[in-house]
Amino acid sequence: SSAEDDHTPLEPQTERFKLLSEAYSTLSNPKKRYLYDIQREFSDETQFPDYKFSDKDLETLYSYYELFV
């Protein structure tokens, strides 16, 4: 039907908007930004190929970070 066809081209834009909104939410929140940065820093497959931080690990790191900021 034509109503479905009208919405199909918007799906990639809607998905992109959701991703951008999530990115903005993360980067504008100091705690979320710190946790994001830590994950990116340690996601280098060449240096840390088998390690992934758990949520508890990230919360512990953030609590130490708060002590020094």
What are 44-62's pLDDT values in tens digits? 666 666 777 788 988 898 8
Tokens of 14: 């809607």
The answer to whether residues 65 and 34 touch, using CB atoms and an 8 Å cutoff, is: yes
DSSP conformational letter for 29 = S
Confidence of residue 9 (pLDDT cuts 50, 70, 90): low
Confidence of residue 66 (pLDDT cuts 50, 70, 90): confident
Please report where in the chains the tokens 């949520």 appear, as a residue: 55
Distance CA 8, CA 38 (A): 37
Q: Where are the alpha helices (DSSP H) in the chain?
A: 2-7, 10-28, 30-41, 55-68
Tokens of 2: 């034509």
